[in-house]
Structure 1
Amino acid sequence: MDDDGRPVPRHGESVRGSQSGQPIMVLFDLLSRRWAMGILWNLSEAPRTFRDLQARCGSASPSVLNTRIKELRSVGLIENTPDGYGLTGTGRELFGHLEPLGDWAMEWVPTL
């Protein structure tokens, strides 16, 4: 459950925006949760301890950060490493798809 009482999104189950739980909507539900993207972005550079993540996600409460870490671990995007938390191979693959969206957004924002 997340900090709003929602279960971790799963394929085939109702998620925000999709009654049928289509894979892309499951992913968007998960990534739209508070600090999920921030955690992935911060772990893309290197593994980080909980305290380091907390410092980098300054306004995230420890309980929200802990919940999000548990969710991202449960779906195989992050893992415990000797240096803290890090992206799994699947997490790195996902980040590889998200990074171009970040680049696109930087070009898009000035047009607003």
Structure 2
Amino acid sequence: MPQTTPLPGAPVRGSKSGKPIMALFDLLGRSWALGILWQLSAGPLTFRQLQDKCESVSPTVLNKRLKELRESQFIERGSEGYQLSPTGVDLFHLLKPFGPFARHWADKLQLTIAM
């Protein structure tokens, strides 16, 4: 199967069913997809700004993910650069609680390691 944007209704990595949840998990599981969405949650960014925020992402991977996230309608290109679409904002509201959870988890691990 060629590397294409995972969309509901079509087979994706790990699933031939085409179920929407499997397409979403395939897309979000790709390198830098979640990082790009997270960075854009603070507001629009140009390609260069996004590349700086994502630190080690290569221009090739960043271009590929931006294309996939645009085709999936999670981001769009605005006058100030790339930004979350209304659907992307909805998705980010679901992802946002992971930030505090991750910090709590990291603190808990540090306590366990220190003991």
Aligned to 1:102: 99
1:2-41 equivalent positions in 2, closer than 5 A: 5-41=2-38
Larger gyration radius, structure 1 or structure 2: 2
Aligned to 2:88: 91
| Separation in 1, partners of 2:56, 2:66 | 15
Paired-residue identity, %: 53
Aligned to 2:71: 74
| Separation in 1, partners of 2:4, 2:33 | 14
What is the CA RMSD across the aligned residues, in angstroms? 1.6
What amino acid is the match of 1:73?
Answer: R
In structure 1, the gaps of 5 or more residues are none
Q: How far did residue 17 of structure 1 move?
A: 2.6
| Separation in 2, partners of 1:21, 1:103 | 32
| Separation in 2, partners of 1:38, 1:101 | 12
| Separation in 2, partners of 1:102, 1:58 | 19
- TM-score normalized by structure 1? 0.87
- TM-score normalized by structure 2? 0.85
Deviation larger for 102-111 or 68-77: 102-111
